[in-house]
Amino acid sequence: MSELLLNGGEFLIKDTDFNLNFIPEDLNEDQEMIRQSVRTFVEQEVLARGNDINEQVSLLQEAASLGLLGSHIPEHYGGNPLDTFSNTLISEELGRGEASFNTTLAAHTGIGMLPIFYFGSEALKLKYLPGMCNGSIKAAYCLTEPGSGSDALAAKTQAVLTDDKNAYLITGQKIWITNAGFADVFIVFAQVDGTKFTGFVVDSHLPGISLGAEEHKLGIKGSSTRQVYFDKVIVPVSNILGEIGKGHLIAFNVLNIGRYKLGTICMGGTKRLLEMAIRYANERQQFDHPISSYGAIQFKLAESAIRIFALESTVYRVADLMEDRKIVSTQSGKDAATAMLTSAEEYAVECAIIKISGSEIIDYVVDELIQIHGGYGYSEEYAPARIYRDTRINRIYEGTNEINRMLIINMILRRTLKGQLDLVGPAWEVQKELTSLPSMNLSDEDYALEIRSIKDFRKMVLMVAGAAVKYQMDGKHDLKTQQEILINVADMIIDLYLAESIVLRIQKLKGKYPEKLTDLHESAMKVFFWDAQARLVKNGQDALTSFASGDELRIMLLGIKRFSRYEPVNVKAHRRRIAEALIVKKSYCF
């Protein structure tokens, strides 16, 4: 398995065998039972109470009784470990609930628990993790400060060693702290000796800790968000997480799996929102017909479903990569925490793609939900208005989408420089290909056009990214100051990855589950490829014209044309086909 497993970012230069790719249709009966159990909890409890700030603790306790708080933690520490696919299902189904409770639970199980699981001493793990799994200990993560958001390492909170060297005195202020109002323990980041960014586990009841009032937020009003103040709080040296000065490893690594889960939660939310949109469109009559019968509304429903399909195909593809990597790591002798940490770290690029895609797709879907509801969608008396406000945070936390886009490029370049990813050779081959005659032949395999287009899209990305990097190496620009170019290239990479995930899923459906493959799948694929190609072309052109000129620019613009050969499709007909299925089924149709 390890020989066949793609490394992080290798989708840019290597094909994936669709037979080895996991798709949602591969989920087994036990995993589907987990889905149903979580959905029942969401429908019976979370939707009724999840937006009430006074219900968060009791809902966490109920989630603990179902095993939802410790599904990623070994039994030795009080958990009930499940595979990555089952944990993905849990996140997806929770996404169908209330965003406030999702925020509460995710902050506890992710950024609250994982720093201890990944980096805590054995004593810290045994002290805190069992209570975190059973709900008796609630966690919060104190990273952001008034003057340091995306630039987390610029934190001003200080940790000063006491004279007896047995403890640190922590002084500072943290802001936007989820779960602060009821947390029993804080994960706190502070500067040791003024500059050594370090993580600590801090009990919330200690003298010197005080809380601000609940923040008045745009959305997720049912979650607790407060400032936390530390005034010479005495924290034992045994409560240090990892190594002094290595807090950045904690802060950044816990965000990888957090980004993956956030995108997955958003995916679950989009399915519920789509159901709400279909139901209203079917019920709302205008001009003696349900508005779902009109093309303008059908476009919105179908486009929502197509984007969800792309996201879903990608989410389970990455779940498979992380699960396989975790198994390989465990078989090589690594403990559970290290295996989980390194699997998410390996696929940090892919996790960022899912975070960006999930948060932006749910924003698209909820925006169309408002539009379909018309004036009623704008009224606070109806659910869409609140959901619209709730979803907006997804593009901000776990790293803003702009930061994540630049991280995608940064992580790919870093892997290249470390020799973990060979982009130089393939990028050079693309440059040489620009001066040769293109082959117009298609293979006779299924979905040959899409398969060729993936190869073309890949070449387009390598051409644009390679040119931008070469300009940097030649001293013609500094990419650190060219964020627009980085974002252009990141968006190209995102479209490439989602498009490839779709065709891999459909190839496997045809080969393994032909009875489940319908013309709806192929319609979704064709529309997505046509639209993705247009976005790739636009982003590639925008990036190239930002730094290249003259004959060099003209050659590369011709290259973009050369690598955009996906044939025109009747997108209206394909979308209408999908919309009709949605209207009849009254839910997501894939």
Tokens of 124: 């810290």
How would DSSP label each residue in 333-388?
T--HHHHHHHHHHHTHHHHHHHHHHHHHHHHHHHHHHHHHHGGGGG-TTSHHHHHH
Closest C-alpha among 171, 170, 173, 179 to residue 141: 179
Rounded Cα distance between 5 and 544, Å, is 33
Q: Which of 457-486 are b and which e, b meaning 16 or more Cβ less than 10 Å from the residue's Cβ? A: bbbbbbbbbbbbbebbeeeeeebeebeebb
| Residue 64 identity | A
Angle at 497 between CA 494 and CA 503, to 5 degrees: 140
Tell me the C-alpha distance between 535 and 554, whole Å.
19
Specify whether the CB–CB gap between 188 and 157 falls below 8 A.
yes
226, HSE (Cβ side, Cα atoms, 13 Å): 17
Q: State residue 236 phi and psi, 5-degree precision.
A: -60, 150
- Please identify which of the residues 55, 312, 345, 398 carries the catalytic annotation: 398
Query: What are the structure tokens assigned to 287, written together?
Result: 């001009």
3-state secondary structure of 213: coil
Strand 196-203 relative to strand 289-290, pairing: unpaired
Annotated catalytic residue 398: yes
Provide the 10 A C-beta neighbour count for residue 19: 11
Cα–Cα distance, 71 to 79 (Å, whole number) = 6
DSSP 523-575: HHHHHHHHHHHHHHHHHHHHHHHTT--HHHHHHHHHHHHHT--PPP--HHHHH
Neighbours of 194 (CB within 10 A): 8
Q: Which residues belong to the active site? A: 398
